[in-house]
Amino acid sequence: MGIIERREREKTERKAQIMRCAKELILEKGAENVSVMDIAKRAELSKATLYLYFPSKDLLFMDICNAAAVRFIENFRNRLYPGLTAIETIKLYWQCYLDMFGESDEMVIVFSMWQYLSPGYPFLSLEDAAKPLTIFEFYTDIQNMIAQGIAEGTFDPAVDPAMIARTILSLFSTAVENTAKLPKDARNVRFIIDETTNLFQIIIRGIARDGLDRALLNLPTLLEKYEPKALSSKTG
């Protein structure tokens, strides 16, 4: 039985290795410039071997995209408290983003794969999406947070949650993808985090109900972490 397990482990490891190589290349050259040959060379395998682990280039890319997206979403959902206000949830969401992005290039991968696979996706309509990407759940999550915020009187009721979700995703996607297209050494993770944080902050303010105290809307940053336990007023 040890053998079977070891085989399993090796297979997983190989898949992971291939995905790692593909990710490197995506980060280096941009998704649309990565060919199956490139990945094979980097992984020191033959093209044919790649196809042993992934049935097609698209599915390899989808796996890469989903793996990171799943990690993010699970992390976020695990840290969710019942009874959080919309703005608290948003802050938590953002904290998860900072945590994940601070550690790795995962977010870059998520968004650039996403653009590659479903280019026009979230901006226009959900229905046009051809491929089942986990990242689509980002859309739902964000939409829900905005809707809850409207219900709680935090956000302007004239605002369309779906449109805001689209916008936020587009912004991140663009930010991240643009970064991914730069040569790797020019890339500055820290910068991306600051930039996307500012963007998100602006949008949150832009959709806030008129007259709301802005102090409530401050998102966590790399310097100021958000601790949901402390903030969520379970007693009140």
Partner DNA sequence: TATGAATGAGTGTTCATTCAT
Partner DNA sequence: AATGAATGAACACTCATTCAT
Residue 155's φ and ψ, nearest 5 degrees, are -110, 155
Contact assessment for residue 166 and residue 101, using Cβ atoms and an 8 Å cutoff:
no
**Interaction between residue 20 and DNA (CB under 7 A):** no
Rg (CA), the chain: 20
Distance separating alpha carbons of residues 189 and 207, to the nearest angstrom = 27
41 lines the binding site for DNA (CB under 7 A): no
Strand segments (E) across the chain: none
Which of 181, 193, 219, 226 binds its own copies (CB under 8 A)? It is 181
Min. distance of Cβ 183 from DNA in angstroms?
A: 17
Q: Is 25 left (phi over 0), alpha (psi -120 to 50) or beta?
A: alpha
Q: How far apart are CA 64 and CA 53, in angstroms?
A: 13
Token digits of residue 58: 């698209």
Contacts (CB under 8 A) with its own copies, residues 20-59: 30
Q: Which is nearer to DNA, 45 or 100 (CB)?
A: 45
Q: Does the protein bind its own copies through residue 202 (CB under 8 A)?
A: yes
Residue 13 in contact with its own copies, rule: CB under 8 A: no
Between residue 79 and residue 138, which ones bind its own copies under the rule CB under 8 A? 119-121, 123-124, 128
Which among 55-63, 97-105, 125-133, 149-157 is the span making contact with DNA, rule CB under 7 A? Answer: 55-63
Could you tell me if residue 83 is left (phi over 0), alpha (psi between -120 and 50 degrees) or otherwise beta?
A: left
Helix (H, G, I), strand (E, B) or coil at 227: coil
- Nearer Cβ to its own copies (143/173): 173
Q: Does 236 bind its own copies (CB under 8 A)?
A: no
User: Which C-beta is closer to its own copies: that of 19 or that of 135?
Assistant: 135
Query: Rounded to the nearest whole angstrom, what is the least distance from the CB of residue 57 to DNA in the complex?
Result: 4
46 interface partner picked from DNA, its own copies, none, CB below 5 to 8 A per type? DNA
